[in-house]
Amino acid sequence: MTQSGTGPVAATASRRPASDGSTHAASTVGHPLLRLHGVHLAYEWADQPVLKDVDFEVRDGEAVLLLGPSGCGKSTLAMLCAGLIPDAVAATVTGEVWRHPDLQRPGAIGYIFQDPEAQLCMLRVGEEIAFGLENAARPRADMVSRIEHALREAGLCVAPLARHASFSGGMKQKLALACALAMHPRLLMADEPTANLDPQATAQVFRQLRRLHAAGQTMVIIEHKFEPLLPWVERVVLFDADGRVVASGPCRETVEKYADWLAEVGVLPAWKHWHARTAARTAGQDRSAPASQAVDAGDRKLRDASSPVPMPAAVELDEATLAYGDQPVWQGLNLTIPRGSFTAIVGPNGAGKSTLLLVMAGLRPLTAGRVALFGRPVRDWPARALREKVVLCFQNPEHQFVFERVADEWAGRLLGDSIPAEVHQALADHGLAGTAEQSPFALSQGQKRRLSVAVITREEHDLYLFDEPTFGQDARTQEALMERLATLHRAGKTVVISTHDMDLVRRFATQVVVLADGGILFEGTPEALWTRPDVMQQAHLLDDTAWAADVAEAGVNPPSGREYSRTLAGGDGNHEPQAGHGAVREEVSSDGWLRATPVRRRWPAPLRRINPAMQLVATLLAVGVAMFARNLAQSAATLLVPVLLAALASGIGPIRTIRRLAAFLIFYILYVWSFAAFSAVPPGTKVYHVLWFRLSWLGLYNGLVLAGRMLGGVALGLVLVSSVDISRFIEALCQNFRCPPKFAYGVLAGLRFVPLFREEWTKLRQARAMRGKAVAWWAQPVVYALPLLAQAIRMSERVAVAMEARGLIGRAAEQATARTYYWPAPVRPWDVAYAIGLPLVLATLLVVLRGV
Amino acid sequence: MPSGQPAGASVTARRERGVMWKLREIIVAAILSVVCGVIYLGWDNLTMPLFSSTVSPAVQGLVNGVWWIAAGLVAYIVRRPFAAFLGGLVSAVVEFLLGSPYGTGAIISGLVQGGGAEVGLLLGGWRRWSLPWMMLSGAVGGIGNTLQWYFQYGGDKYSAGIVVGYLVTTCMSGAVIAGLIPKLIGDALRRAGVVRNFEIGRQARERS
């Protein structure tokens, strides 16, 4: 363990950060850790370099903030600093990059990325944190204590055996932080760590960063929502859109000095009035009524224009309930959205805001209750009329792209070779000049959003629904977008948005709906909401870092010492997943590998103790042996042996074994039929001619033999899936078969995405329906292939970079012996006995039964 | 305070080296295979009532190509040795994990179909990615499929005419569904700009 590593992290637990508002002392900043001089960087596919003549330095103990418009190369610079470029991401780099020798150690540079989904690669909390430690070849004994410590450091109160798939975005980001901290990084890179989070989760992440920094952690932060960072980050570096450094200096002074420039290039949204508010915050801590400072005269005028009109409301929900399965998302909602209003729906991640918009668009039926649009129940609207009246803009613009060319996309039909001038003009009006011939998927994030909004506002509607329209956009695009929505509103249209951006709510909305904890917590004007800190607290809407975190620590998320020791109890010892362990998540989502159905282990599971790699060997050999079953008795034996194993030794029990296999009953009846109907028979055998089928008893017999042994293969698979844990399986493949770790872990990272695709598919279907381009079910795979695969490929690139940032690189990636493993996979005598025994038993049975 | 002597090291124009698989290529292969595995599962349950129990096996072969789309798709995008094999295998494992009625037989299908498609590409030295080569690869994958059918799924119970018919229709199906279609999808993804970090994108840039 290096000295530099333990110092800052160990100190944090005991030391409280400096009180709110005071700037971190500059005296702790030490010698340079990293220096770039005259660096140019160009990606292979691009004409222009991303970074031009960049000088950059990070000193020990310093926190540096990188600011600049979207696409200016901030993330590229961070990846270059961390050594991910050019190793993980190919690019041409010239100039000088110097790193302190301390940074050469594996894990010395920790990295937190933007997308919570794309930076985790294992299934459970403990093994996730261990992944980096394994790559750095830490001994296993060391991992357990480091995992426990890192969880505490990151403020995440969960058991190491908990599965993180069900975590919220905020918890996932904290887990990513824990993964980085477990490595005791000298330098922590945080690339928009809060981009996907609600205000409270954002505040919590900032709070943890601040604590770490106060304890001496060096860090580089890229962040759009940078205001809360200003009080404690020492230095800021400003980039322009061409990837040049414009200025670098003390944080607050530099930002204030360049405020106009920042607003001009689109880093600072003009409506945020940030200096007024930050000044007020540091001076008077006046938190009770910040709204009064932010709402200017112009906004008021806008609101007055939209005073209530006595007409049927745009949307009326009456005792509306929506549930996934038997889990309610929200219930008993009573909500009226007046015509001509600008309504913002806010609330924590996962409150069901997007679902509510889908219901309003008539794309998702309610589980119970009624929804009416413009005074008429949704189900009474003819589909076409509804599409003309209401339109929904999805959070991910790609979901609603239908065509492969921007011009076609805008026109809503294939235009052919000659694109009319008015299409070019219209695209230019939306800031999309010169993109007519491109693929919509190849546009930048901002352009995609502008295109999707342009498309849905092209035709006139009465109700416009936008799901997080400003998500992932820089200030300039946000500004243009909100201006567009305001224009619709001024024209008398009803606009409903969901958002996390409370500034935007304050600036534009006439009505706020707070959706949290399965119901509506608040409905009224933004001004009224700001007088209800209790509601804002409960709905995770507080963006004031210090306050939110203080309150959270006191009540909402209490990580008291005792609680920690209890939840972390699974973190030591053998990590043996057992019944009655108390880990609820484990119970909920650990059936098989890829399905989420509840499991209760009442049946003995001795097979779970067998080495997973040896189980694979046993299964493959047994499948091979079973192919030699030629008569009915042999076939029955190859079926019965694995069925008995599954029922009695894999932990799922007889009933579930039968139920699983029964699911294939119809399939196998048809299978037997196809033999009975088409099998070749020796001359003289009785054949019944029915239609074009040639039925024979011999064919039926053949079919039964084959079906028996094939179903035996299914049962063997069931035994394997029920008694092997996939993470352990992957680790065993590396340890026992020397499988190159990057293949084993890379494939596992890909398999994690199965459940995600189901969601993507649903969204694609809804988005198509929205655009009146619904696709017959049989054609869906063809039509959805492009958007689905495009999403998958981008995701895989992000995952790969994140995994390489966590040390799956060089020898640790190529050689199984160059790293250590969290799940030991010894090959003991009984493992070998099973691997040989199972196929041997089957072979013996086949020999004994051959004459029957 | 660390005592390491700061030593200058310049990073200049370093390009990707060798033909070794990169991590992102492995993950992309896995993710594409996951998507295909889901499609296979649907195809398992769809083809049995519609084709396998209603028409002669000689005609059933026409629907087979779907089951090794991943081999062609992964290979066409990643363009590394054994990409087709990996795609075929992983997609089949996903199909198995999701609950295919073929059970462990699905994994063997992945091995033989992916292996067959790989042989087709090997004949081109893993350097030829034009339509005829992709279709050849898909067709050879069909030979692998037919072998498994003959030995494991009871193909030997049918008359020689049916077996030959099955082989021919399966190879035709493979050439079109597992050769032509992956190429079309791959080209569409290239136009969409999402695969520019992969060999397919790099080779397209070098040609132009």
- Any bridge partners for residue A20, and if so which? none
Which residue ranges make up each domain of chain A?
A: 3-271, 304-399+445-543, 602-729+834-848, 739-823
Q: What is the mean pLDDT of residues B109-135?
A: 94
Residue A360: both structure tokens together: 């309003």
Q: What is the mean pLDDT of residues A796-824?
A: 91
pLDDT computed for residue A569 by the predictor: 34
Q: What is the mean pLDDT of residues A766-795?
A: 77
pLDDT tens for A110-121 read 999 888 878 899
Torsion sign (Cα): A156, A162, A164, A169: negative
Confidence of residue A781 (pLDDT cuts 50, 70, 90): low
Q: Tell me if chain B has a CB within 8 Å of the CB of A716.
A: yes
Q: CA angle, corner A519, sides to A517 and A522, nearest 5?
A: 100
Q: Using CB atoms, which residue from B8, B38, B205 is nearest to A757?
A: B38
From CA A143, how far away is CA A133, in angstroms rounded? Answer: 7
Is residue A412 over pLDDT 50? yes
pLDDT computed for residue A827 by the predictor: 95
pLDDT computed for residue A667 by the predictor: 87
Confidence of residue A147 (pLDDT cuts 50, 70, 90): very high
Query: How distant is the Cα of B172 from the closest Cα of chain A, in angstroms?
Result: 20
pLDDT computed for residue A310 by the predictor: 57
Contacts of B42 in chain A (CB under 8 A): 781
Q: Tell me if chain B has a CB within 8 Å of the CB of A533.
A: no
The verdict on a CB contact (< 8 Å) between A593 and B201 is no
pLDDT tens for A621-677 read 999 999 899 899 999 999 999 999 999 988 888 998 999 899 888 888 888 888 888
Number of H helices, E strands in chain B: 9, 0
Q: Are A414 and A432 in contact (CB under 8 A)?
A: no
pLDDT computed for residue A828 by the predictor: 95
Across A13-27, A605-619, B15-29, which has the greatest mean pLDDT? A605-619
- Any bridge partners for residue A523, and if so which? A513
Which one of A89, A100, A630, A714 makes the best mutation probe of the B interface by having the most chain B beta carbons within 10 Å? A714
Q: Which chain A residue's Cα is nearest to B45?
A: A667
Contacts of B159 in chain A (CB under 8 A): 680
Contacts across the A-B interface (CB distance below 8 Å): 241
Is residue A810 over pLDDT 90? no
Q: Tell me if chain A has a CB within 8 Å of the CB of B184.
A: no
Q: Are A244 and A41 in contact (CB under 8 A)?
A: no
Choose between A781 and A674: higher pLDDT. A674
Q: Are A363 and A378 in contact (CB under 8 A)?
A: no
Please tell me the total number of residues recorded for chain A in this structure: 852
| Lowest-confidence segment of A87-91, A147-151, A592-596, B157-161 by average pLDDT | A592-596
CATH annotation of A3-271? 3.40.50.300
Is residue A309 over pLDDT 70? no
β-pairing verdict for A187-191 and A109-112: parallel
Is residue A544 over pLDDT 70? no
> Which run of H or E residues covers position A328?
strand A327-337
Q: Are B62 and B169 in contact (CB under 8 A)?
A: yes
DSSP, res A373: E
Query: How distant is the Cα of B123 from the closest Cα of chain A, in angstroms?
Result: 25
Confidence of residue A613 (pLDDT cuts 50, 70, 90): very high
Confidence of residue A600 (pLDDT cuts 50, 70, 90): low
β-pairing verdict for A315-324 and A368-373: antiparallel
Contacts of B180 in chain A (CB under 8 A): none
Q: Are B120 and B130 in contact (CB under 8 A)?
A: no
Across A42-46, A89-93, A533-537, A736-740, which has the greatest mean pLDDT? A736-740
Is residue A298 over pLDDT 50? no
Which residue ranges make up each domain of chain B?
A: 23-197
Contacts of A101 in chain B (CB under 8 A): 2, 4-7
Upstream peptide bond of A310 is cis (omega within 30 degrees of 0)? no
- DSSP reduced 3-state for A38: strand
| Lowest-confidence segment of A129-143, A585-599, A716-730 by average pLDDT | A585-599
Cβ-in-10-Å burial (0-12, 13-18, 19+) of A235 comes to: buried
pLDDT computed for residue A6 by the predictor: 35
The verdict on a CB contact (< 8 Å) between B10 and A101 is no
pLDDT tens for A206-226 read 888 999 999 999 999 998 888
ipTM value, please give it. 0.87
Q: Tell me if chain B has a CB within 8 Å of the CB of A92.
A: yes
Q: Are A344 and A508 in contact (CB under 8 A)?
A: yes
Confidence of residue A543 (pLDDT cuts 50, 70, 90): low
Write out residues 650-679 of A within 8 Å (CB-CB) of B. 660, 663-664, 666-668, 670-671, 673-675, 677-679
- DSSP reduced 3-state for A320: strand
Largest CA distance in chain B: 82
pLDDT computed for residue A733 by the predictor: 95
Contacts of A747 in chain B (CB under 8 A): 26, 29-30, 90
Q: What is the mean pLDDT of residues B162-184?
A: 94
Q: What is the mean pLDDT of residues A698-710?
A: 89
Q: Tell me if chain B has a CB within 8 Å of the CB of A751.
A: yes
The verdict on a CB contact (< 8 Å) between A101 and B4 is yes
pLDDT computed for residue A419 by the predictor: 85
DSSP string of B52-63, one letter each residue:
ITTS-HHHHGGG
pLDDT computed for residue A271 by the predictor: 56
Query: How distant is the Cα of B136 from the closest Cα of chain A, in angstroms?
Result: 23
- DSSP reduced 3-state for A645: helix
The amino acid present at B77, given as its one-letter code, is: I
Q: Using CB atoms, which residue from A86, A89, A627 is nearest to B152?
A: A627
Fold exhibited by the domain B23-197: Arp2/3 complex 21 kDa subunit ARPC3 (1.10.1760)
pLDDT tens for A734-761 read 999 999 999 999 999 988 887 777 778 8
Q: Are A197 and A173 in contact (CB under 8 A)?
A: yes
Q: Tell me if chain A has a CB within 8 Å of the CB of B91.
A: no
Choose between A851 and A236: higher pLDDT. A236
Choose between A401 and B173: higher pLDDT. B173
Phi first, then psi, for residue A190 (nearest 5°) are -125, 110
Within 8 A by CB and 6+ apart from A448, the residues are: A397, A398, A401, A440, A441
Confidence of residue A169 (pLDDT cuts 50, 70, 90): confident
Q: How far is CA B4 from CA A107, A206, A763, in A?
A: 18, 32, 53
Confidence of residue A563 (pLDDT cuts 50, 70, 90): very low
From CA A496, how far away is CA B91, in angstroms rounded? Answer: 42
Confidence of residue A599 (pLDDT cuts 50, 70, 90): very low
Contacts of B15 in chain A (CB under 8 A): 86, 90, 92
Phi first, then psi, for residue A34 (nearest 5°) are -150, 135
From CA A105, how far away is CA A136, in angstroms rounded? Answer: 8
Is residue A586 over pLDDT 80? no
Within 8 A by CB and 6+ apart from A480, the residues are: A431, A450
Contacts of A783 in chain B (CB under 8 A): none
Confidence of residue A590 (pLDDT cuts 50, 70, 90): very low
β-pairing verdict for A368-373 and A376-377: antiparallel
Within 8 A by CB and 6+ apart from A403, the residues are: A409, A414, A440
Residue A724: both structure tokens together: 């092997």
Query: How distant is the Cα of A619 from the closest Cα of chain B, in angstroms?
Result: 8
Write out residues 139-178 of B within 8 Å (CB-CB) of A. 151-154, 157-159, 162
Q: What is the mean pLDDT of residues A461-484?
A: 85
Q: What is the mean pLDDT of residues B72-76?
A: 95
Q: Are A293 and A281 in contact (CB under 8 A)?
A: no
Write out residues 475-514 of A within 8 Å (CB-CB) of B. none
- Any bridge partners for residue A345, and if so which? A498, A513
Q: Using CB atoms, which residue from A4, A785, A797 is nearest to B185?
A: A785
Query: How distant is the Cα of B113 from the closest Cα of chain A, in angstroms?
Result: 17
Query: How distant is the Cα of B73 from the closest Cα of chain A, in angstroms?
Result: 11
**Mean of pLDDT over chain A:** 80
**Mean of pLDDT over chain B:** 86
List the one residue out of A722, A736, A747, A742 whose CA is nearest residue A825: A736
Cβ-in-10-Å burial (0-12, 13-18, 19+) of A404 comes to: middle
Is residue A614 over pLDDT 50? yes
From CA B147, how far away is CA A657, in angstroms rounded? Answer: 31
Q: Using CB atoms, which residue from B48, B153, B159 is nearest to A667?
A: B48
Q: What is the mean pLDDT of residues A550-559?
A: 36
pLDDT tens for A314-357 read 999 999 998 877 778 898 999 999 999 999 999 887 788 888 99
Whole-prediction pTM: 0.79
Choose between A12 and B107: higher pLDDT. B107
- DSSP reduced 3-state for A189: strand
pLDDT tens for A424-434 read 998 888 888 88
From CA B40, how far away is CA B100, in angstroms rounded? Answer: 9
Is residue B89 over pLDDT 90? yes
Q: Tell me if chain A has a CB within 8 Å of the CB of B103.
A: yes
Q: Are A411 and A419 in contact (CB under 8 A)?
A: no
List the one residue out of B122, B120, B15 whose CA is nearest residue A86: B15
Q: Which chain A residue's Cα is nearest to B94?
A: A751
Write out residues 556-615 of A within 8 Å (CB-CB) of B. 592-595
The alpha-helical segments, DSSP class H, found in B19-152 are 23-47, 57-60, 69-78, 83-97, 105-123, 131-151
pLDDT computed for residue A793 by the predictor: 87
Is residue A272 over pLDDT 60? no
Q: Which chain B residue's Cα is nearest to A700?
A: B157
DSSP, res B21: P
| Lowest-confidence segment of A298-302, A453-457, B129-133 by average pLDDT | A298-302
Within 8 A by CB and 6+ apart from A545, the residues are: A203, A206, A207, A210, A228
- From 3.40.50.300, 3.10.129.10, 3.40.630.30, 1.10.3720.10, which CATH number describes the A304-399+445-543 domain? 3.40.50.300
Phi first, then psi, for residue A65 (nearest 5°) are -105, 130
pLDDT computed for residue A63 by the predictor: 95
The verdict on a CB contact (< 8 Å) between B1 and A671 is no
Residue B203: both structure tokens together: 């080779």
Q: Tokens 């960063």 — which residue?
A: A209
Contacts of A801 in chain B (CB under 8 A): 24
pLDDT computed for residue B7 by the predictor: 36
Across A125-134, A415-424, A534-543, which has the greatest mean pLDDT? A125-134
Q: Which chain A residue's Cα is nearest to B181?
A: A782
From CA A526, how far away is CA A547, in angstroms rounded? Answer: 20
CA A334 to chain centre: 31
pLDDT computed for residue A276 by the predictor: 42
pLDDT computed for residue A790 by the predictor: 84
Percent of chain A scored above 90 by pLDDT? 35
